[in-house]
Amino acid sequence: MNIDQSGGVGLPVRWRSLAALLFSLIAQTILEPPSRIAPAIVFYAAALGFLAWAIIEGEWKLSAPPAVQNTYQSERIRPTPLLLSIPLLVAAFYFFAGNRFTFLNLSLWLVGIFLFMRAVWIPNTHKKDRSIDWEWMGLLAAVFLLVALLRVYRIDEIPAEPFSDHAEKLLDVFDISQGKFSIFFERNTGREAFQMYWSLLVLKVFGTGFSFLSLKIGTVLLGLLALPFIYLLGLEFGNPMVGLFALFIFGISYWMNVVSRIGLRFPLYPLFTAATLLYLTRGLRALSRNDFLLCGIFLGLGLHGYSPFRVVPFVVALGFILFIMHAKSKESRLVALHGFGLITITSLIVFLPLLRYWTEHADTFGFRAMSRIGSPGTQYPEPVWIIFLANLYRGVLMFNWDDGNIWVNSIPNRPALDVVTGALFVIGIVLLIVRYLQKWDWRDLFLLLSIPALLMPSVLALAFPVENPALNRAGGAAVAVILVSARALEGWLAGVGAEKRRLYLAYGVAALLLSASVWQNYNLVFHRFDVTYRRAVWNSTEMAKVIQEHGNMDTAWIVPHWQWVDTRLPAIWLGDVYGDFALWPEEFFATRQISGPKLFIFHPDDVETEIFLKQIYPDGRLSRYTSASVGKDFMIFKIER
């Protein structure tokens, strides 16, 4: 019988770390609905006990991120393009007045950005001879293909129906097609512009028209664009294996799949967060001017995307503070301060159109975010600091316990992570704390602190605490959370040693875990989410079908009812973006002057409408439409002549 170096029996795997993993998986499984808190805590306590033992014995530890390399080049800034860029950008700022993109202000802005980048960008004069590992590239391609298939599978069916926000989005996109090139779209409490222009491009390329499907295709593509940044972030915080695991886990997660296919701006938050954090960490690791510039570009672009991204500038500042606190030389701190200034200037230049709008309409620009936090005079149910701490508590627990009650982009009241990812996340947090205390690496602390920081758009729903947690407003935190889980899994594999029998078994277990994760996330998206979403959303497609069969959109109406279908949506399904089938009861008499068959659709509980229509049209025929979704029936009142 062989004895291993850690003093244990020569087993195929390190049994302490395997026990920690097993107990964590059991604990996280118990937290699946209906969650049982007490036994889950017991099993997680056992898992952490074995994990502590495994850490002491060196069985499980996180791999080191890439070594810090000071590649800073003090190449001079080119004065001519810099001086030329300043008046162009000032002029662009002036001409961005009026909340409109024009050929003039766009040209001034884009040329100004180009000249600024030309002035400060350092050309790469050293060509690196890098051999390509085609087997590894093939593996990455296979993972990307799997993720892409999961993201686009049944995109026409899931989610099944649009709701009011989609109608507002399509109206904004249609406005662009009619020549209204807004910088900030003020409809529906205000929206940044990126998705509107992106959706117009998508519907033109795919020929899908002004439809719910166009919105969904656009956001799915945005979700896929985040994947390369996730992989590269894995390299920055670990190694290629961490990058592969992060790419896989992020790609197949129910959280990211749902927020990407919902057709709203939600995937823009994790997309630009991943890109910004990548170039921030790379820039600080290498003290690279070009990476600082790219960080500033993506930071500025992200501010045109989805309002929760407005927290990311503070996360960037946090990264610089931590780096400077941990830097060992005055030169590194000085270069970092220069980099911070460069990111600030670059992001402001990219943000320039919205900055102009902000100066003109500060109340509108900040209305949506401030409406969740609260304004002067808001009556909070409890002291604000208590609400904040309670929100933070619920926000931090969303990953492993309860992701909130928002049916639009989640399965209410279940963990945001699947069982495998959730178990690895808890272990990864502990390993990250231990590694930071051992190595004093600013990146470990930054990854830890970025999670609550990126949760703030959800946590700060102080005026409406019921809206926290929210997977859409916490989407940026998924980047850091999944990196933690990926590092934990890679650390477990790295701890098995080089003995072939252990390696084969460890990789087999990892493959089994990832396969289970795929299966659960598939079930969550294509079964659980589909069912809960259909139960909550109103069936505008079926109403559109009934109206289409009627044959005349001008003599078909939907009687509005409290918290019922948006009467614009059936018109959008039928190709009329600005159409609205709403007809209020006081307008019923006017329909008598219209000849030919008529169609009225109304809510089954609207007895007054039924009585009123029968009085006006005694010969009308009443029927009930039985919906494919439970509880979504509606009444049809037809006049045949």
What is the per-residue pLDDT across 334-363, written as a single tens digit (0 to 9) for each? 999 999 999 999 999 999 999 999 999 998
Question: Is 182 found in the same domain as 163?
Answer: yes
Is it the case that residue 317 has pLDDT exceeding 80? Answer: yes
State how far the Cα of 571 lies from the Cα of 577, in Å rounded to an integer. 7
Structural domains counted in the chain? 4
CA 621 to chain centre: 48
- Confidence at 129, pLDDT banded by 50, 70, 90: low
Q: Is 136 a member of any domain?
A: yes
How many C-beta neighbours within 10 Å does residue 623 have? 9
**Mean predicted lDDT score pLDDT of the chain:** 93
The pLDDT tens digits of the residues spanning 234-279 come to 999 999 999 999 999 999 999 999 999 999 999 999 999 999 999 9
Helices vs strands, H then E, count in the chain:
25, 6
Q: Which amino acid is at 257?
A: N
CA 468, 472, 474: angle at the middle one, nearest 5?
65
Report the length, in residues, of the chain. 641
Tokens 């709403």, located at residue: 582
Q: Is 168 a member of any domain?
A: yes
As given in the structure block, the two tokens for residue 398 are 């969303």
Please compute the mean of the pLDDT values over residues 47-57 and round it to a whole number: 95
Q: Is 65 a member of any domain?
A: no
Question: Is 236 found in the same domain as 88?
Answer: no
Q: Is 7 a member of any domain?
A: no
Asked whether 457 and 368 are in contact (CB, 8 A), the reply is no
Question: Is 300 found in the same domain as 192?
Answer: yes
State how far the Cα of 360 lies from the Cα of 617, in Å rounded to an integer. 53
| CA dihedral over 166, 167, 172, 176, signed as positive or negative | positive
Question: Is 106 found in the same domain as 196?
Answer: no
Residue 231: per-residue pLDDT: 98
Please compute the mean of the pLDDT values over residues 91-118 and round it to a whole number: 97
Please compute the mean of the pLDDT values over residues 420-429 and round it to a whole number: 98
How many C-beta neighbours within 10 Å does residue 556 have? 25
Q: Is 59 a member of any domain?
A: no
Please compute the mean of the pLDDT values over residues 540-545 and round it to a whole number: 96
Question: Is 487 found in the same domain as 561?
Answer: no
**Residue 5 — φ and ψ, nearest 5°?**
-65, -20
Q: What's 155's DSSP letter?
A: T
Q: Is 66 a member of any domain?
A: no
Is it the case that residue 10 has pLDDT exceeding 60? Answer: no
Q: Is 456 a member of any domain?
A: yes
The pLDDT tens digits of the residues spanning 177-197 come to 999 999 999 998 899 999 999
Is it the case that residue 414 has pLDDT exceeding 90? Answer: yes
Question: Is 137 found in the same domain as 113?
Answer: no
Q: Which residues pair with 404 in a beta bridge?
A: none
State how far the Cα of 443 lies from the Cα of 101, in Å rounded to an integer. 39
Q: Is 254 a member of any domain?
A: yes
As given in the structure block, the two tokens for residue 227 are 């994947």
State how far the Cα of 461 lies from the Cα of 387, in Å rounded to an integer. 9
Residue 489: per-residue pLDDT: 96
Please compute the mean of the pLDDT values over residues 72-84 and round it to a whole number: 85
Please compute the mean of the pLDDT values over residues 386-405 and round it to a whole number: 95
Is it the case that residue 8 has pLDDT exceeding 60? Answer: no
290: containing domain: 132-536
Residue 381: per-residue pLDDT: 82
Question: Is 551 found in the same domain as 532?
Answer: no
- Confidence at 125, pLDDT banded by 50, 70, 90: low
- Confidence at 130, pLDDT banded by 50, 70, 90: confident
The pLDDT > 70 percentage for the chain reads: 96
Looking at 536, 567, 596, the residue that finishes a domain is 536
Please compute the mean of the pLDDT values over residues 15-40 and round it to a whole number: 94
Question: Is 559 found in the same domain as 528?
Answer: no
Question: Is 621 found in the same domain as 545?
Answer: yes
Q: What's 76's DSSP letter?
A: P
Tokens 């919205």, located at residue: 354
Q: Whose CA is closest to 448, among 327, 318, 340?
A: 318
Which distant-in-sequence residues (6+ apart) come within 8 Å of 228 by Cβ? none
State how far the Cα of 501 lies from the Cα of 498, in Å rounded to an integer. 9
Q: What stretch of H or E contains 393?
A: helix 384-397
Measured distance between the N- and C-terminal CA atoms of the chain, rounded to whole angstroms: 94
CA 381 to chain centre: 29
Question: Is 162 found in the same domain as 95?
Answer: no
Residue 495: per-residue pLDDT: 82
Q: Whose CA is closest to 145, among 219, 202, 227?
A: 227
Looking at 536, 560, 594, the residue that finishes a domain is 536
Is it the case that residue 374 has pLDDT exceeding 80? Answer: no
State how far the Cα of 495 lies from the Cα of 490, in Å rounded to an integer. 9
Taking every pair of C-alpha atoms in the chain, what is the biggest distance, in angstroms? 97
Please tell me the least confidently modeled range out of 216-230, 305-319, 387-401, 501-515: 501-515
Please compute the mean of the pLDDT values over residues 315-327 and round it to a whole number: 96
Is it the case that residue 13 has pLDDT exceeding 80? Answer: no
Residue 98: per-residue pLDDT: 94
Question: Is 312 found in the same domain as 340?
Answer: yes
Is it the case that residue 496 has pLDDT exceeding 80? Answer: no
Residue 1: per-residue pLDDT: 36
Residue 183: per-residue pLDDT: 97
Q: What is the DSSP string of 450-511?
A: HHHHHHHHHHT--S-GGG-S-TTTTTTHHHHHHHHHHHHHHHHHHTT-S-HHHHHHHHHHHH
Question: Is 529 found in the same domain as 415?
Answer: yes
